[in-house]
Structure 1
Amino acid sequence: MALAGTLLFCIDCGDLLDRVAPQKKGYRMPALPNAESKWWPISTQTFSRADAFPSTLQAKRSNVRAIHHSQVETWVMTSETCPACDNTATLFREMQLRGADEGSTLFFRCTSCTHKCAA
C-alpha cells in the first residue's frame, strides 16, 4: 500500500483503492495482510499555489492602475495675484493650444474664489 497525497495505491498491482469510511483511526488494506502497515489518513490538508486555478478576474488584476485624467489634480500652485479678489495663492496650468512655433497658454484659477482667467 502506498499513499500519494490523499490517494491510496496498491504496491503490488498499482490499483487505486476505494476510500472506505474507517471504523477506527486508520484503514488497513484487507487484501494484503502481510503488506507494510501504512494507514489511511483520517484528514489531510492540501495547499495550492495562487496560480494553480487561473481565473479571468485574477487575470485582470495588475500592479499598475489606470487613472483617468479627470481624477488627477494637474494644477500647480503659484504666487500670481487673482484679479477678482486679490488673493496671492492661485493655481495655474499650461496648455499648448496653438502651433508648435507659438507660445503656450497659461490658465489661472484662484484658490479662494475659484475665478478663472487665461494669460
Structure 2
Amino acid sequence: MEFCDDCGSMMKTEGDEWICGSCGFTKIRDEAKEAAMVTTEGQTESEIVDISDAEDQGLPTTNAACPECDNDRAHWYMQQIRAADESETRFFICTECEHKWREDDH
C-alpha cells in the first residue's frame, strides 16, 4: 500500500506507476519496496480456538450482586449498543452461574 506524498490519500497501481485517486499525483513503482510489503494475500488464517468453556474469561471482575444467584462477584465489559454519541453500556457476567445482565437492568 502506498500513500500520496501530496495529499496523504491511498494510491492505486496502474502499470508501473502509483496514482492518487484524489489529487492525481503519480510516482514510479519501486519493486524492491513492494516486495517487502505485507499483503493479505500472503497471510494465512490461524486456527479458531473455542474458549467458551474457559474458566478465566479474561475480563476484569468487580463487586456486583447477581440477580439470579446472589453471588457478589461478576466479570464486566463495556459495549457500544446505541448511537455513537450515547454512552456505552456495561455488561456483567456472574462468576458463579454465568448469568448475564446489563447495568441499567432492574
Same fold per superposition (TM over 0.5): no
Specify the structure having the higher radius of gyration (Cα). Answer: 1
TM-score, normalising length: structure 2: 0.42
TM-score, normalising length: structure 1: 0.38
- Larger proportion of strand: 2
